[in-house]
Structure formats: C-alpha cells, structure tokens
Amino acid sequence: MIQPAERLEKLPPYVFAVAAQRIRKMTTDGIDVIRLDIGSPDKPPPDTVINQLIESVHNPKIHGYSGYQGTPAFRKAIAQYYQKRFGVTVEPEREVLPLLGSKEGIINLCLAYLNPGDLVLVPDIGYPSYSMGARLTGAEIYWLPLTRENGFVADLSQVPEAIADRAKFLWVNYPNNPTGVVISNQQYDQIMRFCAQHDILLVSDNPYVEVTFDGCVAGSALQSPDALNHAVEFVSFSKTYNMAGWRLGAAVGNREVIQKLLQIKSNVDSGHFLAIYEAGITAIEDTTESWEHERNHIYQQRRDRVLEALPQIGLDADVPKGSLYIWAYVENGSGLDYAEAALEHAHVALAPGSAYGPGGERYIRISVSVPDDRLDAALNRLKEWYPRSQFA
C-alpha cells in the first residue's frame, strides 16, 4: 500500500475518537458506560429553531448549493449579535464568515497561515485542535503555562522576547475548555496589547460565551481597542443554542484573515444546507434570555452536584464560572491513570487532562452535559469504586 503523508506522523489519532472506539466495544459487550468525557449538550435547541428547520426543508427552492460565504442574512444576523451583545461593529460582507463549527475554522486557519518552522503560542491546557492544527502544518508550538496558581491564565510577561517576535498566532479561549475560567475585558485588553506589540494574530475561540454561572457575563476579545486589526474570533452554535450536531458557527474579525480563511474553505467545502442557515438566524434572533438562563441553571445545578462529590472520589477543583466542565485535580496519581481505572472498574468515562496538553497531566475533565439521572448514577458509581481503588 502507498505510504501516508509524513504530516500524519506528527498528528496522533484524535483522543476522543480513540476513546469512542473503546467505549463502543464495551457497550457491544453489554457494559453500560456513562460518558462524562464529552461536552455534547443533552437538551435540544429552542422549539423555534426546530420549527424553522422543518419549515425551511419544505421549501423546494433551497436544496441547492448555498454559496461559500453562506447567506447575506446569516452574516447580517451574526453582525447584529456582535453589536447587540458586545457593542462591536463588524461588516457582514467582509468581517463575518460562516463555519462548519469552530473546529473546522481552527484547522483551516492554520492551513491558511502556518508554514513549517513557524511558531504559535498555545496554552499548555487547551482544546486539542489548537496544537493539532499547528502540527498538521509543520509549525512549532511554544507552550504557555496555565497553572492553578496563575488562575489558568497565561502570564505573557514571561514569554521570551525572541519567542514573541517569532510567533504568528496566540490562542485564547474564555470561558475556557477545560478549566471553566472566565477573564475580564481588562485581561483581554492586556492580551491584545501584547499581540499588537509583537505583530501576532490573536485567535479567540469563544464557543462557550453564553454558558456561564453565578451571574457571570463573559466577553469577547473583539471588544478590545483596535481588535479588528489584530484578532479573529470563532463563535459556535453548538453550546450557545444546543446545536452541536448542526455544525454551525462563524469567524468574525480582521477582514484580511477572513478573506484568507475563505480562500481555504472555498477549496474544501461548499457551505451549509440553506435550511441550517435559516434555523441559525432564528436561533440568534428568537432565542430568549429566559431560555438561556434556564439552560445555564440546569448546568449550574449539575456542576454543584459534581463539586460536592469530588472529596469523596479523590478529586479537587476550583468552581468554574463557565463552560460545561469541571477541571478536577487528581490528588493521588495521574489523570490518565485515574480515567483509565474509572472506565475499567466504575464504567464511567472521564477525559484525561493530558489530552488537553502537557499542563493537564494531574487533571481530569468532567462534563455536565448529561441527563440528571445519568450524572447521579455516574457519581454514585465513582463513590463506590474510589475507596477500593489505588487512588484512595
């Protein structure tokens, strides 16, 4: 057989794809595995969104190609969301581009800008695609340490000048996956100044901006002064509107970056089904604050039940202000060993912290995007297993 491209040698199999294969095997063998490792919302989108999709599907005129930039109405809806939610004015035609979810945008942006030997600044705890996109292009990674002591926010003053001057990208993600940390507008301003000083593109991945707790309101990197000259931000409908399987998102920001991203995308995909765009517009325009508050209240209650259980299962965590996760420190042992043992003996799937980078070795990620009864069952299984485990 012909040999695969050398780039695959630098691109390990996606950690959740590997885990899914193992869990499928266990399920086939009759084992009931409760998955707390994936952040896929368990509730549906608002009824208005579903009804709009149904109505649109029956329109005989919308079943052709939708265009590489999506529809003007969808881009306008994204721009209006940014104006209303963040007070940020963007031009729909040149500063907004629909995405097949933010993950696609992450990888395609790397393909658009990174060459072998280029350098990117990546948090050492973060969504795996930030580093995988760099590896796919042959770029080098400089890991920014995120520790519990620094609040899981990188100290950019510690980045060597020579490294900062070489870097092309800086990735940020707040509310953060996996730590749940939310940063202030002032912190965004500091990050933006650093990027402007060193001619770095700030890439803000912001899919959890509307999933927050305890009255916390998250912001956008594009709210910082002069952001449209130095930044692009990805937003996603997956968590904001419980539309993970719909694969709808957008890139917003610097128009030159948007154009280069479009150049890649137009050679790779042909856009969404038009009915998805129309449902997305409905999600933006018709989703009520009460619906979002109720959704977040459910997640917050689940978060609190997990936090209450942690001392009984050998874990410790700070209280997350956003996202769908608890980032839990393993008191005795590694996160990978803990997750392996929990799956094997308690039949509960947890995400090992090492999947999120070298700073996550002693952590696991627990998702709250599972029905209440399954979450309670998983916590009870872990409580029964832990006292007999090697971690006790």
The type of residue at 311 is: P
Residue 328 has what pLDDT?
98
CATH architecture of 6-43+289-388: Alpha-Beta Complex (3.90)
Give residues with Cβ within 8 angstroms of 94, minimum separation 6. 255, 258, 259
Q: Which of 294, 293, 324 is nearest to 306 (CA)?
A: 324
Pick the CATH number of 47-286 from 3.30.43.10, 2.60.40.10, 3.40.640.10, 3.30.465.10: 3.40.640.10
CA dihedral 14, 18, 20, 24 (to 10 degrees): 160
Enter the DSSP assignment of 44.
P
Residue 5 has what pLDDT?
87
Q: Which of 233, 287, 286, 281 is nearest to 74 (CA)?
A: 281
Q: Which of 198, 169, 122 is nearest to 360 (CA)?
A: 122
Burial group, residue 386, by CB count within 10 angstroms (0-12, 13-18, 19+): buried
Residue 317 has what pLDDT?
98
Burial group, residue 173, by CB count within 10 angstroms (0-12, 13-18, 19+): buried
Instruction: Give the distance from CA 298 to its chain's centroid.
Output: 20
Give residues with Cβ within 8 angstroms of 98, minimum separation 6. 69, 70, 74, 75, 78, 248, 249, 250, 271, 272, 277
- Give me the residue spans of the domains in the chain: 6-43+289-388, 47-286
For 226, the enclosing helix (H) or strand (E) is none
Residue 261 has what pLDDT?
97
Taking the C-alpha atoms of residue 88 and residue 68, their distance in angstroms, rounded to an integer, is 24
201-231 exposure pattern, b = at least 16 Cβ within 10 A, e = fewer: bbbbbbbbbbbbbeeeebbbbbbbeebbebb
User: Within 10 Å of residue 118's Cβ, how many Cβ atoms?
Assistant: 17
Count of residues for the chain?
392
Q: Which of 134, 71, 81, 143 is nearest to 106 (CA)?
A: 134
Residue 178 has what pLDDT?
98
Residue 7 has what pLDDT?
85
pLDDT along the chain (392 residues), means of 10: 86 79 92 96 98 97 92 98 98 97 93 97 97 94 96 96 98 98 98 98 98 98 97 97 96 98 94 96 97 98 98 98 98 96 97 96 98 98 97 94
Taking the C-alpha atoms of residue 212 and residue 323, their distance in angstroms, rounded to an integer, is 6
Burial group, residue 286, by CB count within 10 angstroms (0-12, 13-18, 19+): middle
Cβ atoms of 176 and 144 within 8 Å: the answer is no
Give residues with Cβ within 8 angstroms of 299, minimum separation 6. 211, 213, 324, 368, 369
Q: How far apart, in Å, are the Cα atoms of 31 and each of 23, 26, 67, 246, 318?
A: 9, 5, 45, 29, 32
Taking the C-alpha atoms of residue 317 and residue 311, their distance in angstroms, rounded to an integer, is 9
